[in-house]
Amino acid sequence: MARRFLIAGNWKMNMTAAAGAQLIADLKAQFDCGMKCANTEGPEVLVCPPFTTIAAVVKAAEGTVLNVGAQNIHWAEKGAFTGEISGEMLKETGINYVIIGHSERRQYFGETDETVAKRVQAALASGLKVVLCVGETLAQRESNITDEVIALQVKTDLGAVAADQMANVVIAYEPVWAIGTGKVATDEQAEEVHKNIRALLAKMYGADVAAATRILYGGSMNAKNCAGLLAQPDIDGGLIGGAALKPVDFATIIKTAKDIAK
């Protein structure tokens, strides 16, 4: 089954509204059709700016093929949750994706698989598509428990997600040791984990859902190393941090995905 590549930019805590709008303008300029034509760019493309930059980016992306997403969501509909943002609030901004469970959220802000699972549920209930991040630390990889760690995350984080909701879920495998470090997983290391995640999805949801679910690689993916990663059979795109802030590099990754298109 053909899976369309998804090239997703995670801007993290970078880009004011003005800088974000400029980045979209610069990105558009990298494509002959200004990212207006659906078939020219090939892969689905997503950018996830900080909350306060979303409105400016949604406006700048109008009339293009760009999707815009957020970097987190709270599970409650509303209430006394200082500093949090609900699904309804996110939908209102015009976005259609949300990143959930990024390792920086888990590492620095105490996110657990239980809270990640609640956020996934809330996002799907709000009509948002989910980019669910999972990944092992260096210590876990060195202890040879990568597969167990990832399997536990996938099972717990997807929790109550039903098979028919999986069409709105993308999984991002992001080895923690590769994020922002310049230390990318080898094509083979990444493919092995992606293959195992797909096998797990087959057990959880059946072969059709497993074959249709996109699994992205994240962690120091850039314009130079993306071709090898994207050529792997079970790698269906990238979740890109640093390189997504550079329009030429991000455009190169999009164009590479288009050339490889499965």
Among 241, 252, 256, 257, binds ligand PGA (CB under 6 A): 241
Among 50, 69, 219, 237, binds ligand PGA (CB under 6 A): 219
Spell out a b/e string for 173-212, using b for 16 or more CB atoms within 10 Å of the CB, else e: bbbbbbbeeeebbebeebbbbbebbbebbeebbeeebbee
CA dist list (Å): 4 to 59, 63, 122: 25, 21, 25
CB of 181 or CB of 208, closer to ligand PGA = 181
The token duo for 242 is: 């640093």
By annotation, the residues acting in catalysis are 102, 174
C-beta of 9: minimal distance to ligand PGA in Å?
9
- Residue 30 contacts residue 248 (beta carbons within 8 Å): yes
By CB under 6 A, residue 180 contacts ligand PGA:
yes
The token duo for 19 is: 């800088």
Sole window of 20-28, 115-123, 192-200, 240-248 interacting with ligand PGA (rule: CB under 6 A) = 240-248
Sole window of 59-67, 105-113, 114-122, 216-224 interacting with ligand PGA (rule: CB under 6 A) = 216-224
CA dist list (Å): 80 to 76, 84, 86, 113, 123: 10, 9, 11, 22, 19
Among 174, 191, 234, 236, binds ligand PGA (CB under 6 A): 174
By CB under 6 A, residue 239 contacts ligand PGA:
yes
- Residue 74 contacts residue 81 (beta carbons within 8 Å): yes
CB of 173 or CB of 205, closer to ligand PGA = 173
Q: Which residues contribute to the site for ligand PGA (CB under 6 A)?
A: 10, 174, 179-180, 218-221, 239-243
